[in-house]
Amino acid sequence: MYINIQIFIYYTKKKKIAPSKNISTRIAPIIQYRYHSKFQLFKATMNFSAASSPPVDTDDIIFEVPGFIRRYRNGRVERLIPDELVPPSLDPATGVQSKDVTINPTTSLSVRLYLPPSATSIPKKLPVLVTIHGGGFYLLRSSSSSYHNYVNSLTAKAGVLAISIDYRLAPENPLPAAYEDCWEALEWVFATDDPWLSNLGDLENVYIAGESAGGNLVHSLGIRLGREGRKVEGLVMVHPLFWGKDRIGDEGVETRKGGILTLEHIDALWPFVCPETTGFDDPRINPVAEGAPSLATLGCRRVLVCVAELDLLRERGRLYYEKLKESDWEGDAEILESENEDHGFFFFNPGSLKAQELTKRIVNFFNKS
């Protein structure tokens, strides 16, 4: 079975925008792969330009999501998306100040805190935003330049005190490591005596937001909060990574095969990052599966789900919203669909009109209470 996948330059062609300086276009645009069910291996044939990485011996590869990540027989993991890590700083563009705090030295769990320039000029404490990056559970860090810049901008526009969780990544630390890290970080937020949070953060007005895999982690925190009889003000799930055994809506139709994500990508991803999974109806990846914790138990007062029209994950986000509305949950749920956009479009083209509309909706959600 051969599948063609276009990596990132999809957006530069479709939207006619210049590639980001942080995204290498030297990665092969077309990558073909075969899945060998007998050995549960991916064998890859890649076409690289002269400026690209040297050829690899595919016999050494035991797993691959083409264009994203490889795992070799000797245990080495190679992430194929360039990722520039940046230190915390005073951002000259937004005036946002950031710092890193280690929570658990044993697991290297840390958070990056962001303080908006308005922090010392307003009489009341700031809403607190716990934000969780995406990346399929295996890419990105809180210090990744693209995500750091995004949180800087969101912090300034929303006037929130933000905490970005640097959770452990799979496959080196397979799930449930990320779930455990995010819960530990959330507990730290409510218990810490860090001066930024204790002096300037309003812990009665807490939001948790995440994109893609981060949206999945947001849901898990909401369920756990509810199970413990606790609530935060709101949850925001942007293009959340949910899936299931059976196809729904138009997940399998031809028009869904040219986007950022593919059926094969998602089907390969989940067992790779969560080897202990029971399958695609595991409640952690399918929150509306039979036997999953009821959405009525979410520990929050409000929810915003954001989906993109061309995103393969759109149907799952819409279903989550619909099932939440049908449940006995007593909160207020909203949904935003970005027309003619694909998964994570706001990272690839943050200055676009649709990206600005998405950010404005999220900012308004934070400032509604």
Encode burial over 84-122: b for 16+ CB neighbours within 10 A, e otherwise.
eeeebeebeebebbbeebebeeeeebbbbbbbbeebeee
Spatial distance between the Cα atoms of 163 and 154, rounded to a whole number of angstroms: 12
Q: Which residue in this structure is represented by tokens 């899945």?
A: 35
What strands, in cross-sheet order, belong to the sheet with 232-238? 97-104, 109-115, 161-166, 126-132, 201-211, 232-238, 300-308, 332-338
For tokens 């590869």, what's the residue? 61
Question: What type of residue sits at position 88?
Answer: P
CA-based R_g, the chain, Å: 20
Which residue in this structure is represented by tokens 């989906």? Answer: 307
- Beta strand extents in the chain (DSSP E only): 3-6, 30-36, 41-46, 61-65, 69-72, 77-79, 97-104, 109-115, 126-132, 161-166, 201-211, 232-238, 300-308, 332-338
Active site residues: 212, 311, 343
Nearest CA-CA partner of 266 in 228, 191, 213, 227: 213
Q: Pick from 265, 289, 335: which is nearest to 63 by CA?
A: 265
- The token pair at 195 is 């001066």
CA–CA distance, 177 with 273 (Å, rounded to integer): 10
Residue whose C-alpha is closest to residue 153's, from 293, 351, 343: 351
In the three-class reduction of DSSP (H, G, I as helix; E, B as strand; rest coil), residue 128 is classed as strand
Q: Which residue carries 């010392």 as its tokens?
A: 120
Relative orientation angle of helices 177-191 and 213-227, to the nearest 10 degrees: 60
Contact (CB, 8 A) for 160 and 128: yes
Which of the 8 DSSP states describes residue 90?
A: B
